[in-house]
A and B are shown apart, each in its own frame.
Chain A
Amino acid sequence: MILSGAEIIVETLIEQGAKTVFGYPGGQVINLYDALYEYSDRIEHILTAHEQGAAHAADGYARASGEVGVVIATSGPGATNLVTGLATAYLDSVPLVAITGNVPNSLIGRDSFQEVDITGVTLPITKHNFLVKSVDKLADTIREAFAIAKSGRPGPVLVDVPKDVQIAKFEYTACPVVEKKAQKLAKDEKITRAAEMIAAAEKPYIYFGGGAVTANVSEELCTLADKIDAPIGCTMMGLSAVPVSHPRYLGMEGMHGHYASSVAQDEADLIITVGARFSDRATGNVAKYARKAKIIHIDADGAELNKNVSVALGMECNIKDALQRLLAVVPEKHHPDWNARIAELKALESEQFERVTAKDRITPYALIQEVAKYAQADTPIVTDVGQHQMWVAQYYPFQNSRTFISSGGLGTMGFGLGAAIGSAKATGKKTILFTGDGSFGMNLNELATVTAENIPVVIVIMNNQVLGMVRQWQTLFFEKHYSNTDLHTRKTDFVKLADAFGMKGYRVTDLLEMPSVIEQAFAENAPVLIDVAIHQDEFVLPMLPPGGCIEDIITERSGE
């Protein structure tokens, strides 16, 4: 059938499986929004307060569901407002398709009103981008964008569509959903080599990252751990792929990782790495990282092999297939001494935790445990960025894969609220957002979206009236020069703010009243905000100082 470019965009989005898209209208997408109006019974559009919120929402949608998220913005400022959202998705390998309008072809390059070279701007923060100059290429370009976004190591793809292309008419023929491009399979000799290395190891450590979530290998990882008698640790991006309750699971390692997990990784003689990229936050000083271990690295992206650390065996392949074949040939192993050492490390970790965790005030730990009582295994747990994010990463009892939604690589403060909206839309579940007063202040305008769309989100603000993570560094490394991290001069009343946006707000300042307030908040059948007072000098511990190694680990605050 003959359709306008705008209609072709919407038809193709529907054809490729998009059910909910996020965005904001404007002059150069007015035709596209007219098509969305026309197709509103087949595709849902969520209007956000700001394009950045829409990008984070599409990102949260993709992370929670594993599907490609879609965001729409107009040219110029609409498009540039997507930049932080695209970079966030790029660093965390999230499949996203962004559609932007642009000025008509005839006006491109003339510094026209709201014209910006968005393919140029987003070149280093997208997996690929397209400027569609004629309507005959439009549908296939969008299909290709979906294919690129979800294939191999996923990522965001931007498609820029000038207004005249949206207006022009062309034949549209529906196509099936594009398949992911086939990934290489690991060579037999590499699988054999990996099995030999595992057979020879005395202290193996399984280490997974976000690639394990993408590859959906939770089961394979646990089976492998059981078969070769190894502990399991992960990066922040890997969180939720293995249940926290799993007896072999040690938790996140790295800068704010669990003590036992980081030390076990340092003491291991073999690290079996699955879908992780050895970021500086995970390794600390790479020269002193895992000095005793040989490293096997299984990843979807060959460019990650030997990028940050040298590995003994690198495998660029389909991760799931490689793990399944490895499982079939790897010998069963028992490492009683190694397990005894792991148990010792876990005991040490518990002791440290008991020592540093206050019992007489609302601690992040107590708050997270209390909130977790009201969550199910499949409840999306979204965070912003900062101390609260690390506390959630450390303490939240994740059960199902894809339930931890957080900005890892880019560390985007202001990510949370948009991402929570997307996660809630993707899953249809009541979603919990843990945020801080600093992060929440960045994009709290999306409360308008939450109430307009009646998004079932419980917002828990860990309010310490400081930019806690930076303050922690200032305390430790900058002689307590609290430069611009004290927010006490702000007069924001988050409960009144919630009220102003049309939702219920609660405040908790006292440990004893915390359980009842949280109970009340979760009883609401509507979006709700809980402002929880946290001590300003609560630390995230343990901490590997930036560029440090395991010997430098800080496990408690020195006397002050």
Chain B
Amino acid sequence: MERFVIAILVENQPGILTRVASMFNRRGFNIDTLTVSETENHEYSRITISLTGDDGICHQIIKQLKKLYNVKEVKVMEREKSVYRELALIKLQNKPETRQEILSAVDIFRSKIVDFSPNTLCVEITGETSKIEAFIALVAPLGILEMCRTGVVALERGCSYLNSEIAFGNK
């Protein structure tokens, strides 16, 4: 079992996220994370899905995605050729006895405090999934009150593009 990150370029239309998510559900494929947003061209949205599976499942998912009418491009964001990022907001207990430990962890992980109240503080951390998970493991014993993660977003490095029109210089 391997982790795959798949980028999908879709027409920016109502219902398209449902169509994509429904395909995963119907075929019994599990989604680990999913993010969606408009792209540089407002006619298209980009969906990034991360999932765990074998090569066969990944190929099947890509082929099924390509059959969806509003899907324009589908591509695996290969680990070594892409930048992966995820953002997490983590709300922790703000107690004098643990505060220093949290502040050093924040410093070491190059994250930042984005909210501070008498009883709570909130950390924003960005990075690859492994970094975020390491941070969470570190601060978990100090009392996580609430947290929220975006899921993976990914772009290929250099002159590789998801949109083949850009890739072939048609734009």
Contact surface of A with B, Cβ cutoff 8 Å: 119-120, 123-124, 127-128, 131, 148, 301-303, 305-307
Contacts and interface: CB of A to CB of B under 8 A. Distances in A.
Interface of B: 15, 18-19, 22, 26, 56, 59-60, 63-64, 66-69
25 contacts: A119-B15, A120-B18, A123-B18, A123-B19, A123-B22, A124-B22, A124-B26, A127-B69, A128-B68, A128-B69, A131-B15, A148-B69, A301-B67, A302-B63, A302-B66, A303-B60, A303-B63, A303-B64, A303-B66, A303-B67, A305-B63, A306-B56, A306-B59, A306-B60, A307-B60
Closest 7 CB pairs of A and B: A303-B63, A128-B69, A124-B26, A303-B64, A302-B63, A123-B22, A303-B67
Contacts of B67: 301, 303
Contacts of B63: 302-303, 305
A399 B105 CA distance: 77
Nearest to A305: B63
Of the listed residues B18, B64, B67, the one surrounded by the most CB atoms of chain A closer than 10 A to its CB is: B67
A128 B22 CA distance: 13
A301 B64 CA distance: 10
Contacts of B68: 128
Contacts of A148: 69
A306 B57 CA distance: 10
B53 to A, nearest CB: 14
Contacts of B22: 123-124
Contacts of A131: 15
Nearest to B26: A124
Nearest to B15: A119
Contacts of A124: 22, 26
Contacts of B59: 306
Contacts of A302: 63, 66
Nearest to A128: B69
A307 B57 CA distance: 9
Nearest to A304: B63
Contacts of A119: 15
Nearest to B25: A124
Nearest to A125: B26
Nearest to B64: A303
Contacts of A307: 60
Nearest to B60: A307
A303 B29 CA distance: 14
B74 to A, nearest CB: 12
Nearest to B61: A303
A123 B68 CA distance: 11
A134 B87 CA distance: 39
A263 B63 CA distance: 32
Nearest to A119: B15
Contacts of A120: 18
Nearest to A303: B63
B93 to A, nearest CB: 42
Nearest to A120: B18
Nearest to A310: B56
Nearest to A148: B69
Contacts of B64: 303
A103 B69 CA distance: 25
Contacts of A128: 68-69
A148 B69 CA distance: 8
A119 B22 CA distance: 13
A148 B70 CA distance: 12
Nearest to B56: A306
A470 B56 CA distance: 35
A178 to B, nearest CB: 14
B15 to A, nearest CB: 7
B18 to A, nearest CB: 7
A33 to B, nearest CB: 28
A306 B22 CA distance: 21
Contacts of B60: 303, 306-307
Nearest to A301: B67
A288 B144 CA distance: 51
B137 to A, nearest CB: 38
Nearest to B70: A128
A119 B70 CA distance: 14
B14 to A, nearest CB: 8
A124 B69 CA distance: 13
A140 to B, nearest CB: 14
A307 B60 CA distance: 7
Contacts of A123: 18-19, 22
Nearest to A153: B67
Nearest to B23: A124
Nearest to A302: B63
A131 B15 CA distance: 10
A7 B133 CA distance: 60
Of the listed residues B18, B66, B69, the one surrounded by the most CB atoms of chain A closer than 10 A to its CB is: B69
A128 B15 CA distance: 12
B114 to A, nearest CB: 36
B65 to A, nearest CB: 9
A120 B26 CA distance: 14
Contacts of A303: 60, 63-64, 66-67
A39 B141 CA distance: 75
Contacts of B19: 123
Nearest to A307: B60
A393 to B, nearest CB: 28
Nearest to A144: B69
A124 B68 CA distance: 11
Given A127-B69, A303-B64, 4 more contacts: A123-B22, A124-B26, A128-B68, A303-B67
A305 B59 CA distance: 10
A128 B56 CA distance: 25
